[in-house]
Structure 1
Amino acid sequence: MKLKFLIFSLLFHVIVFSQEKQFVSTDISINKFIEGTLLIPNDNPKPDLAIIIGDSGPTDRNGNQNFLKNYSLKKLAEALSKNGIATFRYDKRIVKQIRNNYLDKNIVFDDFVTDAISVIDYFKTSNTYNKIFVIGHGQGSLVGMLASREYIDGFISIAGAGQSIDNVIIEQIEKTAPMFTEDAKKVFMVLKNGQTTSNYPEALSSIFKEDIQTFMSNWMRYNPQEEIKKLSIPVLIINGTKDLQVSVEEATLLESAANQANLKIIDNMNHIMFIIDGDDLENSKSYNESFRSVSRELIETVVTFLN
């Protein structure tokens, strides 16, 4: 199956960018928590729909946060819609709360899954689309897995972790600040037991501050390798070799666990889907560089899979 996918991808390469298709943009309110933007190609009366779920933090529908403006999700959505695929991308619920000067401190990871399911249900009941797919980016990969067990025709993970969040963070600490590894493990053991703690090094406060410990505890309950096994739909897993946040090894873990999955590793693509020719400094700066384009190879791969 993987060989067929590769051959088809090469044949389709000529087609994907040969036609510039226009689209209509409409802002939609799904419910009191979720607002987003729907793009519908002009020349397709009943297109496929790709629902795009964003990464961790207060990520808006365009892929931006307060001081990081790269418009990566907007660029992904527009590129897909120019290729005949309807897209819907939405602000995470905390974005709306921040804009209204109110932040629910009781929010948990499962709330993001609930929001994704609400979006899927909204479009599924409209009966407007041929097929519905979910594209999860970063944290949105796991959210998308959990939300895609029903009514979905295919799932795409872009830069999604293959391990539970506690293991991912411990690995990062081992690489960047190994002296805090044992402290982190102790805190995660407390969180795993459903408790909170103030006993952690100040250097790890951005990870373990007490007002996000309940969220973290809920998030770490899920192992992406176990969750992806539960999907009985076609799966595409994509990662870049210059992803500073999620390594290629995470993608291979997901592929190994999935029932039916294609794996695509894109050379020099970073976490926000940009191609980086230089070093880590260029990579880091790109998170706030709106002039960049998302990887052309990424778009080709996704369009081929969706078609």
Structure 2
Amino acid sequence: MVKKIITFSLLVLSCTSILFGQFKEESIVLATNTGDISGTLLLPESIAKPPVVLIIAGSGPTDRNGNNPMMTNNSLKMLAEGLVENTIASVRFDKRGVGQSVGAAIPESELRFENFIDDVVTWIDFLTNDSRFGDLVVLGHSEGSLIGMVAAQNKHVDKYISVAGAGISVGELLRKQLKNQPSFVLEQSTPILEKLEQGETVENVPQMLFSLFRPSVQPYMISWMKYDPALEIAKLKSPSLIIQGSTDIQVDVSDAEKLSESNKKAKKVIIEGMNHIFKPAPSDRLQNIATYNNPDLPLVEGFISEIVEFIKEK
């Protein structure tokens, strides 16, 4: 387990509680010494000690619902609602610096991958000690897959789920994605990536690549590059599920296969026609991306049922 670099105070459950038929929605606040991290609990009313899923969002300014300032698709919100309809509780949260957790932001130059891992470990500790819940399941989406993977090495986690998680390090993933750009982009990026992988920052970044490799984000990238998903998933002792969509244009089926090869006990599920945000989508890039900003489009059929089956399996 990574060493914690931030001291957390006690978690506080807010008093906001709304009843929706057979489940209850509550606001949860994780109070830290750098500000509050806000989350939402969906709790089924019809079952005692239901399993609870801790949902971890992907990279960038993605909030608890799976949205960011540029697009709204409600993918994580729909996931949580699908779970509670099957008597499974969930907690999803805005990462520090995002949404209602903006007060917990850490300056970009000081932010490290371990900050997000430590936040998840603290949520795990809290949920473990909450007598309302049964089994604890950690579910990470995209970048959240790796964050959850490391945090789930915690002895209190009963099951782990990776959804659209990379099977290679972020350095290799960036190289793979940059191959889709004009050749000179990868040529100029390669020496920068090599330096970062060696733990060294780069001062002179070409203007064309500045948004990707700006000096303030380089320490975070270095800390992220230390973790290889294929190595981390092999350390898990809890039952694990790897879910990947066949029309995901950000993460390949080959990533799921690599994770599966590293943890042969894990269950692997490939959902036909599912893209990166769990929506039905074709392989065509433009049509696929169009779903990223359609909050009314439901999740692809079979996605929720695969997760529910895995969670309830004894």
Superposition TM-score, scaled by structure 2 size: 0.87
Within the candidate set 292, 304, 307, 2:309 is matched to: 304
Matches within 5 A, 1:1-307: 22-32=22-32, 33-96=36-99, 99-100=102-103, 104-105=107-108, 106-149=110-153, 150-277=155-282, 279-307=284-312
Kept in 2, the 8 Å contact 1:40–1:81? The answer is: yes
Distance 2:57 2:160 in 1: 14
Distance 1:99 1:35, change over 3 A: closer
Q: After superposition, what is the alpha-carbon deviation per residue over 1:273-292, rounded to whole angstroms, capped at 9, x for unaligned?
A: 10014732121111111111
Structure that is richer in helix per residue? 1
Alpha carbons of structure 1 residues 103 and 306: separation in structure 2 relative to 1, 3 Å: same
The residue type equivalent to 1:24 in the other structure is K
Q: Given the superposition, is the C-alpha separation of residues 215 and 242 from structure 1 closer, same or farther in structure 2, using an over 3 Å criterion?
A: same
Q: Structure 2 counterpart of 1:236, which letter?
A: L
Distance 2:248 2:224 in 1: 22
Q: Aligned to 2:194, what secondary structure does the other structure show?
A: helix
User: 1:9 — aligned with what?
Assistant: none
Q: How far 1:182 sits from its partner (Å)?
A: 3.0
Give a deviation string over 1:19-46, Cα, whole Å, max 9, x none: x983100000022342100001110111
State the secondary structure of the residue aligned to 1:47.
coil
Query: What is the RMSD computed on CA atoms of the aligned residues?
Result: 1.8
CA distance in 1, matches of 2:86, 2:196: 45
Please tell me whether the aligned partners of residues 21 and 84 of structure 1 are also in contact (alpha carbons under 8 angstroms).
no
| Counterpart contact for 2:37–2:101, Cα < 8 Å | no
What CA distance in whole angstroms lies between the structure 2 residues aligned with 1:147 and 1:82? Answer: 27
Contact 1:36 1:61 in 2 (8 A): yes
**Alpha-carbon displacement from aligned partner over 1:75-104 (angstroms, at most 9, x marks no partner):** 000001100100100000021588459652
In 2, Cα distance between equivalents of 1:30 and 1:23: 22
Contact 1:76/1:299, CA 8 A, preserved across alignment: yes
Whole-Å separation in 2 of the counterparts to 1:64 and 1:96:
10
Whole-Å separation in 2 of the counterparts to 1:104 and 1:22: 41
- Kindly indicate whether the alpha-carbon contact (under 8 Å) linking 1:272 and 1:287 is maintained by their aligned counterparts in 2: yes
Q: 1: distance between equivalents of 2:161 and 2:100?
A: 28
Q: Distance in 2 between matches of 1:252 and 1:58?
A: 28
Checking the alignment, whether the CA contact within 8 Å between 1:51 and 1:89 is kept in structure 2 is: yes
* Displacement of 1:235: 0.8
Deviates most, 184-193 or 56-65:
184-193
1:62 maps to amino acid:
N
Aligned-partner Cα distance in 2 for 1:213–1:300:
39
- Specify the code of the residue in structure 2 equivalent to 1:238: I
Task: Supply the distance in 2 between the matched residues of 1:101 and 1:130 (Cα, whole angstroms).
Answer: 29
> Separation in 2 of the partners of 1:272 and 1:204?
26
Aligned to 1:34, the other structure's residue is in SS state strand
Q: Distance in 2 between the 1:102 and 1:148 partners?
A: 24
Q: Distance in 1 between matches of 2:255 and 2:226?
A: 17
Whether contact under 8 Å (2:23, 2:44) holds in the other structure is: yes
What is the TM-score of this pair, normalised by structure 1? 0.89
What does residue 8 of structure 1 align with?
Answer: none
List per-residue Cα deviations over 1:36-80 (Å, max 9, x = no partner).
000011101110001100000111111111121111100000001
The match for 1:13 is none
* Distance change (3 Å), C-alpha of 1:28 and 1:121: same
Contact kept? 2:57, 2:144, Cα under 8 Å: yes
Matched residue of 1:210: which SS?
Answer: coil
Q: CA deviation at 1:241?
A: 1.1
Residue type of the alignment partner of 1:132: L
Contact 2:168 / 2:255 at 8 angstroms: preserved in 1? yes
After superposing the two structures, state which structure 1 stretch, 170-179 or 217-226, moved more: 170-179
Q: 1:68 aligns to what SS in structure 2? A: coil
Identify unmatched segments of 5+ residues in structure 2.
1-19
Higher strand content, 1 or 2: 2
